Amino acid sequence: MAEEEYTYEYIVVHLPHLILASGSPRRKQWLEALRIPFTLVIPNIDETPHLNEGAQALVERLAQAKAEHVGRDHTESWVLAADTTVSLKGKILNKPVDSSDAMAMLQSLQGQTHEVHTACCLRRKERSILIHDVARVTFRSMSEKEIKWYVSTKEPMDKAGAYAIQGQGAYFIEKVEGSYATVMGLPIEKLIPHLKSLGLLRAWVLLPD
């Protein structure tokens, strides 16, 4: 029996265009990898945590606020916004304000297991879809020299928890429990079914010649 030959074709369903409300290169790269057309709009909102606000509540509130903020000017498009933070024993570690802050964060994380919370919000007009995921990351023990070197690379300075799992920060990671994508800033496994149901995701399909 002769083997069938297959070719790849796109099945594309177009619904309203997607707006990515984020300045994160990692989130941009995820959408590009999925071949999802989008326009980038960077939101400008106050990201200060509320008093006694937990990590999940914080990222969910900020993801929704970013989507709502950008959605006001793009009412016919779906807006995707996200937020990520690190929580160590209930203490939120956002982006470091300076090198000393980054040093302190990394010193507290070394040899410990922390949580990375990411939420994303898909919004169009009054319809909103909120997704949350959490992963657990364990750092190995780190010397002061290693921490100083890493801070000197500047990589920690715009990252929650002062490290990038997809960059040189991977050197310090002992174990990840949960989604790698969630740690990077987008819970892609939970997001994809919603993108598909809204017609925003291109699907590769095997079709026989």
Residue 209 lies in a domain: no
Residue 82 lies in a domain: yes
- Indicate whether this model's pTM tops 0.85: yes
Residue 175 lies in a domain: yes
Residue 192 lies in a domain: yes
Residue 32 lies in a domain: yes
The enclosing H or E element of 62 equals: helix 55-71
What is the residue range of 161's domain?
Answer: 7-204
Do the beta carbons of residue 26 and residue 158 sit within 8 Å?
no
Structure tokens at 175: 């174990």
Structure tokens at 50: 């509320």
Predicted confidence (pLDDT) per residue in 110-127, tens digit = 999 999 999 999 999 999
Predicted confidence (pLDDT) per residue in 56-107, tens digit = 999 999 999 999 999 999 999 999 999 999 999 999 999 999 999 999 999 9
Cα separation of 109 and 173, whole Å? 10
Residue 89 lies in a domain: yes
Q: How many CA atoms lie within 13 A of 81 on its CB side?
A: 25
Residue 1 lies in a domain: no
Structure tokens at 73: 């000017």
Exposure string of 47-63, with b = 16+ CB inside 10 Å and e = fewer, is eeeeeeeebbebbbbbb
Looking up residue 155, the CATH number of its domain turns out to be 3.90.950.10
Predicted confidence (pLDDT) per residue in 132-172, tens digit = 999 999 999 999 999 999 999 999 999 999 999 999 999 99
Predicted confidence (pLDDT) per residue in 33-64, tens digit = 988 999 999 999 999 999 999 999 999 999 99
Residue 109 lies in a domain: yes
Can you say how many angstroms the Cα of residue 33 is from the centroid of all Cα atoms in its chain?
14
Q: Check if 83 is active-site.
A: yes
Catalytic residue among 46, 73, 83, 98: 83
Give the number of domains in the chain: 1
